[in-house]
Structure 1
Amino acid sequence: MLIGIVGATASGKSGLALDLARELGRAEIVSMDAFSLYKGMDIGTAKPSAAERAEILHHQIDVLAIHQEASVAQYQVCAREDVHAIEQRGNRAIAVGGSALYIHALFDKMKFPGTDPVVRARVEESLEEHGQAALYRKLRELDPKATESIHPNDQRRTVRALEVIELTGRPFSATMPKREFLRPSILLGVRRSLEELDARIATRTEEMLEAGFVSEVEELMRQGLANTPTAVKATGYQPIMRHLAGEITLDEAREAIELSTRQLVRKQMKWFRRDERIQWIEGSSGELLEQVLDVAQEG
């Protein structure tokens, strides 16, 4: 039985996963966070500490350099291999994260269409010639359902959707994940009120800055963060980049980080509400771990 602990950013799911792993014994953790894949992006992604990772083995953390493009399809292959290897060792796999597509990739029956560099280049040329708005209108005409989950400004996913439509002759939305487990699994969700999450986000942001977030971003910028395909999109990093460029003050950067994190949380919560398989546990409960253990041990 694969255990998943999901929830919005700042809900406390990572700490809960560690506590659960300690209690279960012979357990290892698989990350389902898109940006924890990147080496050097530690503070801003709230990775487990070196001590925590020495105590409990973690997977799918620090596997990419920042100049590499994160691929959900590749993540699916590697994360599923990790789970299989964990179980072959006689250990329990606990997956934790809040990146919706990565959760689907690990848990659900989901196949990724292939890619074709020629088709991709043709769509990207159309993007350069006609602009994102025109491409998005085309996608809405071909597959209106796909645009329900793709933001009008999301160039990367718009291009990918049009590439898949041309390659398969089917709507891109037909390739989107269905909420059907690949194998026996449990999804546990850590739920908190928006007010509590907002307060935790403010505290978390302050702790990140005190821990050296500015220095982390400064080092990553020396490595070329600004020109990376996906790493630069991690929540919180661009406000610090703007601060280092002298465009905004540190206080303004702090406010921007908190705002973007609050926006991310609301997007995550909207997605989680649509998944009826998630068994919700109140994050503020004094018996949070006990509740999780009861469900995990039943599985």
Structure 2
Amino acid sequence: MNSASVISVVGPTGTGKSALALSLAEILDGEIVNADSMQFYRGMDIGTAKVSVAERRGIAHHLLDILDVTEEASVSDFQRQARQAIAEIQGRGKRAILVGGSGLYVRAVLDVLEFPGTDPRIRQRLEVEAEAHGMAELRARLQRVDPASAERVADDRRVIRALEVHEVTGKPFSSFMPVREYIQPTVQIGLDIPRPVLHERLSTRVNQMVDQGLADEVERLDQRGLRTGKTAGRALGYAQFLRVLDGEATVAAAAEETIIATRQFARRQSTWFRADPRIRWLDPREDDVVDQAAALCL
């Protein structure tokens, strides 16, 4: 494998991606580019398991803390920013290590992927329609004009985006889906562990987040507009603990809801990444996992 290739560390949440990326960066003289869409947000630290400055071992990290919680994350913006960061890292003679579990964001950076244009007026009209009449009518419309996307898209925002793309371009949203073709030499390393073990890890991690002050973090961010953010306000843990602030749930209940939601999210991540045959899978519990990963990158 080309020693100048991009390295990408992927897999479900809670599998140790950040720790492996740090070790690889030390061994390979690398810099890290974040591909966890929730770690874009300033102040969302505990609930996203963001690596603190003290924990970064002096290794440069890029695309952390780039948005306020009221701003909406954009895959196309991230694609441009991450590719620029990678080019600059390579220009310094270092290895770029993309790390995170946001599948589409990862593929947007690594693979040939064109993003269709946007039209805020069309999107606003569709959002007004959804508010007035509900999503059923919009979903039925998407089924008529783009059945492939209708089958694939579950999130309301993505339904609206798919309809917007169809109106703007005259093409189905599904036609813009990425193909498995790297834009430059790439090594993808996946971390995963058996489901029961991961479930236990995620339960422990959420409880640790609660002990570290997740509720206080959510309260601080609420004062900065967290619940108005279309992306940040729906993040795992944050949405659940906003209900604690509103008196709708206890801390224990919010923690349990977060554990369940995180396990479901991890399952979706595993399904997404397992579909990519290019990823080399490792077990992070093995003592020599860092050596195995480094050997793949040489």
Q: CA deviation at 1:94?
A: 0.5
Asked if 1:94 corresponds to 2:97, the answer is: yes
Find the residue that maps to 1:269 and give its secondary structure: helix
Amino acid at match of 2:145: L
Q: Provide the rounded CA distance (Å) in 2 between the counterparts of 1:52 and 1:182.
A: 31
Q: CA deviation at 1:111?
A: 0.9
Kept in 1: contact 2:22–2:56 (CA 8 A): no
Q: Provide the rounded CA distance (Å) in 2 between the counterparts of 1:225 and 1:124.
A: 20
Kept in 1: contact 2:6–2:96 (CA 8 A): yes
2:48 — aligned with what? 45
Find the residue that maps to 1:40 and give its secondary structure: coil
Find the residue that maps to 1:145 and give its secondary structure: helix
| Structure 2 residue corresponding to 1:8, chosen from 6, 9, 12 | 12
2:281 — aligned with what? 280
Find the residue that maps to 1:93 and give its secondary structure: strand
Q: CA deviation at 1:155?
A: 2.0
Please show how residues 22-33 of structure 1 align to structure 2 within 5 Å.
22-25=26-29, 27-33=30-36
Deviations 1:150-190 (A, max 9, x none): 11xx2211111001011111111001111211111011100
Aligned length, in residue pairs? 294
Amino acid at match of 2:15: S
1:56 — aligned with what? 59
Q: CA deviation at 1:120?
A: 2.0
Q: Provide the rounded CA distance (Å) in 2 between the counterparts of 1:2 and 1:260.
A: 31
> Quick check: 44-53 or 6-15, which moved more?
44-53
Find the residue that maps to 2:9 and give its secondary structure: strand
> Quick check: 93-102 or 121-130, which moved more?
121-130
Q: Provide the rounded CA distance (Å) in 2 between the counterparts of 1:266 and 1:101.
A: 15
Q: Provide the rounded CA distance (Å) in 2 between the counterparts of 1:126 and 1:250.
A: 36
Q: CA deviation at 1:126?
A: 2.5
Kept in 1: contact 2:32–2:59 (CA 8 A): yes
Find the residue that maps to 2:147 and give its secondary structure: coil
Q: Which runs of 4+ in 1 moved over 4 A?
A: none
| Structure 2 residue corresponding to 1:144, chosen from 132, 142, 147 | 147
Q: Provide the rounded CA distance (Å) in 1 between the counterparts of 2:151 and 2:187.
A: 27
Q: Provide the rounded CA distance (Å) in 2 between the counterparts of 1:240 and 1:63.
A: 23
Give the CA RMSD over aligned residues.
Answer: 1.1
Amino acid at match of 1:65: D
Unaligned runs of 5+ in 2: none
Unaligned runs of 5+ in 1: none
Deviations 1:11-44 (A, max 9, x none): 111111011111222x100011111000000011
Amino acid at match of 2:192: R
Q: Provide the rounded CA distance (Å) in 2 between the counterparts of 1:244 and 1:122.
A: 32
Please show how residues 198-277 of structure 1 align to structure 2 within 5 Å.
198-277=199-278
| Structure 1 residue corresponding to 2:38, chosen from 35, 45, 65 | 35
Please, what TM-score do these two structures have when normalized by structure 1? 0.96
2:170 — aligned with what? 169
Q: Provide the rounded CA distance (Å) in 2 between the counterparts of 1:125 and 1:65.
A: 25
Q: Provide the rounded CA distance (Å) in 1 between the counterparts of 2:219 and 2:67.
A: 19
Q: Provide the rounded CA distance (Å) in 1 between the counterparts of 2:220 and 2:128.
A: 33
